[in-house]
Amino acid sequence: MPTRLDKSNCTADARTLLVILPGRGMNLRELEREGFVAAARSLGLAVDVMRADAHLGYYRDRSILERLRTDVIAPAQVKGYRSIWLAGISIGGLGALRYAEAHPADVAGILALAPYLGEPEMTQAIVGAGGLMRWKAPAGPLLDGEIAPQAWRSVRSVLLRGEASARPPLYLGYGLSDSLAPSHRVLAQVLPPGRVFTASGGHDWKPWLGLWQRMLAASELPRC
């Protein structure tokens, strides 16, 4: 999996890495052009930012978790990063949540921007069950193509993991007119209010940069 590393502008020896997973059809240059790297620098974060080219093909062949572990996370740990945060846009948010479920010890925090959480029928089922914490997540292997059950099972796993200190903080941002907003509202209900950010707009860059800046500013990422 190709990556691009942008070093912190306030320390040459950052020990925190923020890995950004793009949305469907996005490329690494786009993330820089739309201001996502500059936002971390302008806020004075003592973090290195890595853009990972986790494109749709990795999700389709179900290799996304293996490639993230082998190509991104493990090498970063070898290089001395002590804290690794995952950020994801749309399907990248799904990737971040699934990775945090599979490798909980690797992830210090999650920034999910308009995450794709599967088909709306599952969201409706969760609402009908009385919310995410009342919904019974399916156990055992899931059928190929069952994105929503896996997505929500990953969310529950991250939120309910053992002691509170073992749970990585999860921040959510989304546009109020986003077609995925119904699923985001379900997730928002089980997060602390201070970790939920909304803006006018839909599933596109216009609201995302402002949300990204606010999420970074509110996060527990180290400052210069």
Q: What is the mean pLDDT of the chain?
A: 90
pTM listed for this prediction: 0.91
pLDDT exceeds cutoff 80 at 162: no
Across the range 20-31, mean pLDDT stands at 92
pLDDT exceeds cutoff 90 at 192: yes
Please name every residue paired with 172 in a beta bridge, in sequence order, or none if there are none. 112, 196
The CA–CA distances, whole Å, from 5 to 2, 46, 53, 110, 154 equal 10, 14, 12, 18, 27
The values of phi and psi at residue 64, to 5°, are -60, -45
* SS3 (DSSP) at 18: strand
More confident residue, 18 or 60: 18
pLDDT value of position 159: 86
pLDDT exceeds cutoff 90 at 12: no
Q: Which domains occur in the chain, in start order? A: 3-218 (3.40.50.1820)
pLDDT value of position 142: 54
Task: Determine the Cα–Cα distance for residues 38 and 15; give it in Å rounded to an integer.
Answer: 19
Across the range 104-122, mean pLDDT stands at 92
pLDDT value of position 145: 59
